[in-house]
């Protein structure tokens, strides 16, 4: 049996879990500014919601019969995810700086999903595939999250 969009979702869930753990570590940091801790806690909760959304989407899809993903596409997806920059913030003492870091991190996360979605498009009919459409849903969710952070960065 080959790979499907469910396998890609599993990898994206792991990316979200790493983001959640990053924010949770900031909250747990003894020397972290109280305002940063508060915002990091909100972001950790948001990441957890994303994880639940992705898992729910995954669980809905398990019963469906999805087309297999070409191995070369799955290999490229795996490489993109493995190269994704999990840069933890170092010595951020200012809330604005933390918000800018978080916005950049979330935009990189969105770019990752857009890149992955792009790998699935080889012909015009590929935009009707289940993999493409599932990733489109994830992109909408990520864009919503970025807009909510941008409100505070301004």
- What pLDDT was estimated at residue 72? 93
- What pLDDT was estimated at residue 1? 63
Question: pLDDT at residue 75 above 70?
Answer: yes
Question: pLDDT at residue 142 above 70?
Answer: yes
Structural domain containing residue 97: 5-153
Cβ-contact 101, 26 below 8 angstroms: no
- Count Cβ atoms below 10 Å from residue 73 Cβ, excluding itself: 17
What's this model's pTM, rounded to 2 decimal places?
0.89
Considering its fold, how many domains does the chain have in total? 1
CATH number, position 38:
1.20.1260.10
Q: What is the mean pLDDT of residues 93-101?
A: 90
- What pLDDT was estimated at residue 128? 85
93 — pLDDT class (breaks 50, 70, 90)? confident
Cβ-contact 80, 35 below 8 angstroms: no
User: For the chain, what is the mean pLDDT?
Assistant: 89
């Amino acid at each position: 049996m080959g790979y499907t969009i469910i396998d890609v979702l599993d990898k994206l869930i792991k990316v979200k879990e790493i983001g959640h753990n990053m924010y949770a570590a900031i909250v747990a940091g003894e020397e972290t500014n109280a305002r940063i801790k508060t915002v990091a806690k909100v972001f950790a909760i948001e990441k957890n919601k994303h994880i639940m959304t992705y898992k729910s989407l995954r669980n809905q899809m398990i019963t469906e019969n999805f087309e297999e993903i070409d191995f070369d596409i799955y290999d490229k997806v795996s490489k993109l995810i493995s190269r994704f920059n999990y840069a933890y913030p170092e010595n951020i003492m200012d809330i604005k700086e933390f918000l800018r870091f978080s916005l950049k991190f979330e935009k990189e996360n969105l770019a990752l999903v857009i890149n992955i979605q792009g790998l699935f498009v080889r012909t015009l009919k590929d935009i009707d595939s289940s993999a493409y459409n599932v990733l489109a849903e994830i992109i909408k969710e990520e864009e919503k999250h970025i807009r909510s952070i941008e409100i505070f960065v301004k």
